[in-house]
Structures are given as structure tokens and as C-alpha cells.
Amino acid sequence: MKRTRGAVPRATAFVLVYALYFAQMAAYGWGSLGHTDINQVAAEKIPASMPKFLRSKSAIQKIAYLGPEPDRWRDGAPSALNYAQAPDHFIDLERIEGLGPLPMGRYDFIKMLYAKRAATTDHPDNYLPDRVGFQPYITIEVLERLELAFRAYREMKQKKQKTDVIEGNIIFYMGWLGHYVADGSQPLHTTVNYDGWVEANPNGYTTQHGIHAEFETDFVNRVVSSPASFAGLVNPPQRVAHPFDDYLKYLWASNALVPEVYALDKAKAFDGTGTLESVKFLDQRLAAGSQMLVDLWYTAWLESAEPLPQRPSATP
Ligand SMILES: [Zn+2]
């Protein structure tokens, strides 16, 4: 997913707007195929202990279709919606390193970043929240929607009420969640080096734009012939003990693979149909997305059977 950056000078804004428009037409997060496949493979792993309607062919098809949904919200001329949700697709983890534990809510995270910006003299705008990104926040927010929908479903079942409307909502939340979880498995969605290396560069990695789309869209389109190519790497789901913290660990694990993406690019391993190594790397990244996704769905289902967790009281 190409990203828009905040605070551009007015003189260049017009040109940038059109450049970004065409960039987005060419490349959006994992590409449509990667997102669809990650969702589909995860949906095919939904265990028998979860509600039966989720294992129907139509539910799996809908969840797969929803994989690229948040990119459809970006696929057009610049809009309020586009600007509002573009930072949900990524996080520059290098910017939050050393800031301490992340707060639970996105607005406290924004305050934390503005405090860091105020205390920074070298490129303080690097800490603007829309430049750092909200990846883990949108993920946990959609996950919590899903858990609440599962709670409502359980309650309605108990009261022997019709559940078709809530079933539709559950499918939507599951599919929507899949988008962000999949973005998180793409290492270039977790780094300042998201499209060309910008940090100290002793290994001589490419500094050119283009590597992002080359890996997540062009290479995927050439190499992934069907979801089955990585489905075998995805295991039955396991409960995630601490969803927000464990999801952050998943993002850091993805971030640790950023140099490998650049090294493969340097070795021209994404050219054509790739090499054994680059195809394996891609399959493992796609599978990591499906695995975390089905794990989170399963976790939301299990948590929805338990009493609501005690949370600090909300401000009015
Ligand atoms: Zn995305």
C-alpha cells in the first residue's frame, strides 16, 4: 500500500496528489491477490469449534472478498476517507522504539507522539502521528468489534432469536480485520524503509521507490498461483494470550525481516518468477498473515464466552 504523508507544502501538493493517485492505482497493500488469499486461507482454517455458518462456502467467499476492502476505500481520487484511514495500514516501528509501552487507545498514542515530537529537534515531523501510522490500533479496534459481535451472537442464540443480521456483521468484521493483519505480515508496512532504504545503508540496499510494489504486488501476481501455495504452512488456530501485546510482537517480527526483503531485491530474487529462496520467503510471509488472522478470530470467539474484561472507566 502506497501511503500518503502529512503536511506537504502547498506548492507541491497538487503534483503529489496526482502522483499518489496514479501510484495507488498501480499498487495497493499486498496487492489485491495477496489480501484475498490471506483471508481465504485463514477462513478455510476456521475450526469446528467456531459457529457453523462461518464454514459455509458463502462465508469463506465473503471473507476472501473483504481482504482488499480497506484498499478499495483508497482506490480513487484523494478524499476525506482516503486521508483519514491511510495511516491505519502501516506503522514505522523504528519511531516508537524506546518510547516505552504503547498506551491502550489511539488518542493516548497520538499524545505520546506529539510529546516526542515536541522534545525532538532533528526532523520532529517524523513523529507526526499520521506519518508514524496506527497499524496495531486499527487492528485491535476491529478485533474488539468482532468480539462484541460474537457476544451478541451468543446471547441471541441463547434467546433463540434469529441471528442472520449479526452473522453478516461477524463476517464483515472478520474480513475487515484480515486486511490489517495481512498488512502487518508485509515487512515493508512496519518500517521507515517502506519504499527505498532511508536509514544508514552499509549494505547498499536500494534507495529507489518501487521495491514496495515490486514485492507485495508484482511478485505476488507472478508467483502465487492459488491460495494452496502457502495454505499448508498455516496450522489450526491457537488462542492469543494478550492480543495487543502479542500483535505488536508479530509486527516486530515482521519488521526484523525488512533487511531480508532488501537483500532479496539486491540479489534480483524478485525478478521474473523469483528464486527458491524468494518464493519461500513470500509464502512464509503470506502464511504468517493467515496464521495470525485465524488465531485472532479464534481468540475473539473464545473471549466472547467470558465475562467482559475490566477496563479503566472511559472518560465521558
Ligand atoms: Zn493496507
pLDDT at 56 over 60: yes
Supply 188's cell numbers: 515493508
Q: What percent of the chain has pLDDT over 90?
A: 82
Write down the CATH number for the domain with range 28-92+133-303: 1.10.575
Cα-to-centroid distance, 162 and ligand 1 (Å): 34
Residue 128, judged by CB atoms within 10 A of its CB (0-12, 13-18, 19+), counts as middle
In sequence order, the 6+-apart residues with CB closer than 8 A to the CB of 121 are: none
Q: With the CA atoms of 19, 21, 25 and 27 taken in that order, what torsion angle do they form, in degrees rounded to the nearest 10?
A: 60
Confidence of residue 315 (pLDDT cuts 50, 70, 90): low
pLDDT the model gives residue 103: 96
Cα-to-centroid distance, 39 and ligand 1 (Å): 13
pLDDT tens digits, residue range 261-308?
Answer: 999 999 999 999 999 999 999 999 999 999 999 999 999 999 999 998
Among the residues of the chain, which ranges form H helices? 10-26, 31-43, 57-66, 69-72, 80-85, 93-96, 106-118, 129-132, 135-158, 164-185, 211-213, 220-223, 228-231, 243-255, 258-266, 276-303
pLDDT tens digits, residue range 71-121?
Answer: 998 867 788 998 899 999 999 999 999 999 999 999 999 999 999 999 999
Cα-to-centroid distance, 70 and ligand 1 (Å): 6
Cα-to-centroid distance, 8 and ligand 1 (Å): 22
Cα-to-centroid distance, 235 and ligand 1 (Å): 24
Please state which of the ranges 5-14, 45-54, 82-91, 170-179 shows the lowest mean pLDDT.
5-14
pLDDT the model gives residue 227: 62
**Residues 174/300, Cβ–Cβ less than 8 Å:** no
Confidence of residue 54 (pLDDT cuts 50, 70, 90): very high
Q: CA of 28: how far to CAs of 62, 67, 193, in Å?
A: 20, 12, 17
d(CA 153, CA 161): 9
pLDDT tens digits, residue range 193-226?
Answer: 999 999 999 999 999 999 999 999 999 999 886 6
pLDDT the model gives residue 229: 83
pLDDT at 17 over 50: no
Q: What percent of the chain has pLDDT over 70?
A: 87
Cα-to-centroid distance, 30 and ligand 1 (Å): 7
Q: Which residues of 160-182 are buried (b: 16+ CB within 10 A; e: fewer)?
A: eeebeebbebbbbbbbbbbbbbb
pLDDT tens digits, residue range 68-78?
Answer: 999 998 867 78
Strand partners, 194: 196
pLDDT tens digits, residue range 136-178?
Answer: 999 999 999 999 999 999 999 999 999 999 999 999 999 999 9
Cα-to-centroid distance, 297 and ligand 1 (Å): 19
Which residues sit with Cβ closer than 5 angstroms to ligand 1, an ion? 1, 29, 89, 183
